[in-house]
Structure 1
Amino acid sequence: METQIFDLNGYTDLPSGKVASIVTYLDMHARPLLRSEDRPDLRLERIEKPDLVEYRKLFRRIGEDWLWFGRLVMDDAELSRLFAEPARELYFPMSGRNALGVLELNFADPKNVELAYFGLVPEAIGGGAGKWLMKKALDIVWSRPETERLWLHTCTADSQQALGFYRSVGFKPYKRAIEIADDPRLKGLLPEASAPHLPLIGEDPEA
């Protein structure tokens, strides 16, 4: 197998069928003081055993524009094992009987909690639901006496507002990385028209 050399200065060509993004890691070490978001139309529901078909539909609705693929590459057995982990908690913000997003928290290291996934469906963005959901997430995490740190990561494939939003609620950047992955659109995991800010280049190497 040919070794791909990554140049940390200047430009490095990507192989056909790959996508790359700059990942920013952020964290907080104390509970921030946030104004309570009054949303009587919403409630947060803990999901103990999600219906995988419905979960994937929701995941795609939330992340299609931002090339979310982390859960789509898992088969049913992998995804079921993931959500069966005792330290992993999945929540849906609900409006009536409709799920409007996902909140996934990983307490595997109870001192350093990971906000693994946080997002809303497109029609729920812009009306304050995001701040409401983040307040709920912070309430859950910082109510645990073991918590010393909450961290997450976002990337340049995500919404341009994501990084600013996380900083506005108290997260601070502390590290960057480069993520290179197979383009999920070429694998049929997401429509080819998704994430238009990341042009589709190359062919599926397994085709």
Structure 2
Amino acid sequence: MTHIAVTTWSLEQTAPTDLLPAATPEGDVRIVRSEVPSPEFNRFLYASVGGDIRWTDRLGWSYARWREYLERPAVETWVAYDRGTPAGYVELEAQDDGVVEIVYFGLIPAFRGRRIGGHLLSYGTARAWDLADRWPGLATTKRVWLHTCSKDGEYAMENYQRRGFQLFDTRVEEEPEVANPGPWPGAHAD
């Protein structure tokens, strides 16, 4: 099995004022919270956004595991729609002591390069900062963090930094090389 070196960068914001919002893209782009836990929909988003950048850690999750995760308090999925079609998503998860992780963020390949990503990241980060407003009993957010890696899209790191995220950790690890799974075999073939 072939292995590749993967660099993972962890970034954070430590105050809501750290957020540097992107401009709203032109056209009919809306961001809506997916309030009903739906393993089918979240798996669709995960596989469609992450297929060409080798997101594989959740592909083996059972329906029950998806459901259990999505029904946890303070786990939220925010979906960007371009003219009514899902274009990408951001997934938030509350952690201990007022920390919120942006667990997943990205766009379906056909929607990249349209200035939707910066807007979605800005909106999702703002929702991470006000997560406690929607979840009674949750600690006020004190820190929002995320990680990206060298397998992610070529503009991911730049987008995070342009939104005000600061690097706090870098790690390099060897991982097995995985073919692009896509939402189905051959989805990203030319």
Shift in Å at residue 141 of structure 1? 2.0
Residue 22 (1) aligns with residue 7 (2): yes
* Aligned mates of 2:62, 2:107 — CA distance in 1: 23
Q: Tell me, in whole angstroms, the C-alpha distance in 2 between the residues paired with 1:184 and 1:78.
A: 23
1:77 is the counterpart of 2:71: no
> Which of 32, 36, 44 matches 1:49?
36
Q: Which amino acid aligns with 1:29?
A: T
Count of matched residue pairs = 180
Aligned partners of 1:65, 1:183: CA distance in 2, in Å? 13
Instruction: State the alpha-carbon separation in 2 of the partners of residues 109 and 39 from structure 1.
Output: 37
Question: What is the CA distance between 1:110 and its match in structure 2?
Answer: 5.5
Higher strand share: 2
TM-score scaled by length of structure 1: 0.74
Q: Distance in 2 between matches of 1:161 and 1:118?
A: 13
- Residues 120/160 of structure 1: CA separation in 2 closer, same or farther (3 Å cut): same
3-state SS of 2:146 partner: strand
- CA contact 2:38–2:70 (8 Å) conserved in 1: no
AA aligned opposite 1:26 = L
> Residue 96 of structure 2: SS of its match in structure 1?
coil
- For residues 121 and 138 of structure 1, what CA distance do their matches in structure 2 show? 19
Structure 1 unaligned residues grouped into runs of 5+: 1-15, 196-207
Distance in structure 1 (CA, Å) of the matches to 2:131 and 2:91:
16
- What is the identity, as a one-letter code, of the residue corresponding to 2:91? E
Please give the secondary structure, in 2, of the residue aligned with 1:71.
Answer: coil
Matched with 2:92 is 105
**RMSD over equivalenced CA pairs, Å:** 2.9
Give the secondary-structure state (helix, strand or coil) at the position aligned to 2:128. helix
Sort the Cα spacing of 1:137 and 1:189 in 2 relative to 1 into closer, same or farther, 3 A. closer
Contact 1:184 1:190 in 2 (8 A): no
Amino acid in the other structure paired with 1:177? R
Distance 2:184 2:7 in 1: 20
Q: Normalising by structure 2, what TM-score?
A: 0.80
Report if aligned partners of 2:89, 2:105 keep a CA contact under 8 Å in 1.
yes
Q: Identity of aligned pairs, percent?
A: 29
1:57–1:193 CA distance, 2 compared to 1 (3 A): closer
For structure 2, list consecutive stretches of 5 or more residues without a partner in the other structure: 133-139
Relative distance call for 1:189 and 1:183 in structure 2 (3 A) is farther
